[in-house]
Amino acid sequence: MFLFFPLTFLCFGTGAFSKSLFTPCKLTDLPCIENSLNTAIPQIFGGIPELGIESCDPYFNKNIQINVPNLKVQLFNNTIMGYKTGKLSNLRFNSDLTNLSVDINYPEGELKATGQYDMKGRIGTLPIEGNGDYEYIAGQFLLNLECEIEKVKRNDGKTQMILKNYKFVAKPLTKIIYNFKNLFNGREDLAEAVRKFARENWKAIAELVQDPIWDASFTEMFKNINKYLKNVTLEEVFINN
Ligand SMILES: *[C@@H]1O[C@H](CO)[C@@H](O)[C@H](O)[C@H]1NC(C)=O
Ligand SMILES: *[C@@H]1O[C@H](CO)[C@@H](O)[C@H](O)[C@H]1NC(C)=O
Ligand SMILES: *[C@@H]1O[C@H](CO)[C@@H](O)[C@H](O)[C@H]1NC(C)=O
C-alpha cells in the first residue's frame, strides 16, 4: 500500500513478464506517482506468480502476541484482509530519495480479521478473560507510514530499491466491531460487561493493542514489496525532469 512502482498491465499476449509494465513518472510529479501506486497496489497485494510473489491479502498469520501493561492477548490462526483497499495520499520523498512518507486511508468496514484468541488481564479496572473465536471489523482507518529506501547499485549499473526500517502511526477514525466468543468461558453477565465496554471504548482499545498487529502486517507487506522491487530499477520508474 506504500509501494511506489506502478504495474499497469501484464503482457499475457507474449507470455513474458515484460519490463515495460510501468508508467514512468517524474520524481517531482507526486500526483502521477500516487495515481500509479493506487492502481498498482491492489495487483501487487493480490500476488504476482511470475515473480514468485504470493498474495498478502488475505494475509494468514499463525500467532500474534500482544503484551501491554496488565493484559496479555494471543491471536492465533489469523486471517487479515482488506490491505488492498488502502488508498495513498500525501506522498512525499526527501530530496535524495532515501525516505518516504505517505498516508494510507482505509474505507469503512474493509479491514477485517478472524481467528482464535486467548486473553487474560485487565483494561483499566475491568477484568477481561477468555478464549475462542474472534472477529474484528474495522471502521475507517488512517495510517501515516514513514520508511527508508536503500539504493543498491546493480552489476548492470542500474539501481535497485529496498524498503527498510519503517515507523507508523495508526489512527482508528470510526467505530470498530470486536466480536470475541466465549468470554469468561461463557459467563454471560461478565461477558456482557466487557462487550459494553468494548462498544463504548473501541478507539482506546484499538490504540492499546493494535501495534503488534500492524507490525506483523507491515513485515509481511514489506517482504512482498521488496521481492517485487528486485525486478524493477529506479531508472525505469522515475524519468528525468
Ligand atoms: C489453529 O488452527 C489449527 C489448524 O486448523 C488448529 O489445529 C489449532 O487448534 C488452531 N489454534 C487455536 C489456538 O485454536
Ligand atoms: C527516515 O525514516 C526513518 C524511519 O521511519 C526515520 O527514523 C528517519 O528519521 C527518517 N529520516 C529522515 C531524514 O526523514
Ligand atoms: C524482471 O524479470 C524478468 C523476467 O524474469 C526479466 O526478464 C527482467 O529483466 C527483470 N527486470 C529487472 C529490472 O530485473
Q: What is the 3-state secondary structure (H, E, C) of 182-221?
A: CEHHHCHHHHHHHHHHHHHCHHHHHHHHCHHHHHHHHHHH
**Nearest CA among 172, 173, 174, 153 for reference residue 162:** 153
pTM metric for this prediction: 0.85
Higher pLDDT, 37 or 142: 142
pLDDT digits (tens, 9 = 90+) for 121-153: 998 889 999 999 999 999 999 999 999 999 999
The pLDDT, as a whole number, for residue 41 is: 82
Ligand 3 atom with minimal separation from the 232 CA: 13
The pLDDT, as a whole number, for residue 23 is: 82
The pLDDT, as a whole number, for residue 5 is: 41
Ligand 3 atom with minimal separation from the 236 CA: 13
**What average pLDDT does this structure show over 101-123?**
97
Higher pLDDT, 224 or 102: 102
Q: Give 187-191 contacts, CB < 8 A, sequence gap 24+.
A: 190/127, 191/130
Minimal-distance CA residue to ligand 1 atom 3: 77
The pLDDT, as a whole number, for residue 80 is: 97
The pLDDT, as a whole number, for residue 200 is: 95
Beta carbon of 148 within 6 Å of any ligand 2 atom: yes
Strands (DSSP E) found in 13-70: 25-26, 59-68
> What is the rounded CA–CA span in Å between residue 225 and residue 34?
16
> What is the rounded CA–CA span in Å between residue 32 and residue 93?
14
Fold assignment, 5-239 = Bactericidal permeability-increasing protein; domain 1 (3.15.10)
Inter-CA distances, 59 with 40, 88, 156, Å: 18, 20, 35
3-state secondary structure of 158: coil
Q: Average pLDDT of the chain?
A: 89
Cβ distance 9 to 48 under 8 Å?
A: no
**Nearest CA among 122, 131, 135 for reference residue 183:** 131
How sure is the predictor about 22, in pLDDT bands with cuts at 50, 70 and 90?
Answer: low
How sure is the predictor about 237, in pLDDT bands with cuts at 50, 70 and 90?
Answer: confident
**What average pLDDT does this structure show over 225-234?**
89
**What average pLDDT does this structure show over 9-34?**
64
Beta carbon of 79 within 6 Å of any ligand 1 atom: no
Per-domain residue ranges for the chain? 5-239
**What average pLDDT does this structure show over 177-185?**
96
Minimal-distance CA residue to ligand 3 atom 3: 17
CA of 47 to the centre of ligand 3 (A): 16
> What is the rounded CA–CA span in Å between residue 120 and residue 59?
26
**What average pLDDT does this structure show over 81-91?**
95
Residue 21 has pLDDT above 80, yes or no: no
**What average pLDDT does this structure show over 149-178?**
96
